[in-house]
């Protein structure tokens, strides 16, 4: 009896990165006029470098989408907001590894709604109280 060896080669295609979360270091309904640090969590099964792009839409952008951090390997964005920036926002992050989507596209995206509360009106209300 002779042994028969068969060799099989399995080619696994390169997979795009996938975003799993976008988290803020402060809860929504935070007072306007401070810092909110955002972190995107993504994975790439092929361990390709992942590039991130952060977007913001709300009162401080005239309710138009604005890139607040362009493509980079930095998965964090620090949002410095002013006391006058109170209102409802949408924050999105896109990811890509450069091997799938065209230059104008992205491989995965995730977003969140976020509200900055006006502390100015609270202070005025507090100062106006009669004791």
Give the pLDDT confidence of 26-75 residue by residue, as tens digits: 999 999 999 999 999 999 999 999 999 999 999 999 999 999 999 999 99
pLDDT in tens, 13-23: 899 999 999 99
Alpha-carbon distance of 30 to 127, in angstroms, equals 21
pLDDT in tens, 69-93: 999 999 999 999 999 999 999 999 9
- Is residue 124 pLDDT above 50, yes or no? no
The strand pair at 76-80 and 18-24 is best described as: unpaired
Alpha-carbon distance of 14 to 100, in angstroms, equals 9
Q: How many Å is the Cα radius of gyration of the chain?
A: 22
Residues in contact with 104: Cβ distance below 8 Å, sequence separation at least 6, in sequence order? none
Alpha-carbon distance of 114 to 4, in angstroms, equals 63
Residue 125 pLDDT:
44
Q: How many CA atoms lie within 13 A of 55 on its CB side?
A: 16
pTM for this prediction: 0.83
């Amino acid at each position: 009896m002779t042994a028969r060896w068969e060799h099989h080669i399995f080619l696994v295609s390169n997979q795009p990165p996938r975003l799993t979360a976008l988290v803020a270091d402060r809860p929504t309904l935070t007072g306007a006029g401070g810092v909110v640090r955002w972190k995107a969590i993504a994975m790439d099964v092929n361990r390709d470098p992942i590039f991130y792009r952060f977007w913001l839409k709300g009162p401080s952008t005239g309710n138009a989408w604005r890139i607040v951090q362009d493509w980079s390997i930095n998965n964090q964005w620090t949002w410095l907001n002013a006391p006058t920036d109170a209102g409802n926002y949408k924050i999105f992050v896109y990811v890509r590894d450069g091997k799938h989507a065209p230059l104008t596209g992205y491989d995965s995206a995730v977003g969140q709604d976020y509200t900055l509360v006006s502390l100015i009106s609270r202070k005025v209300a507090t100062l106006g109280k009669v004791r």
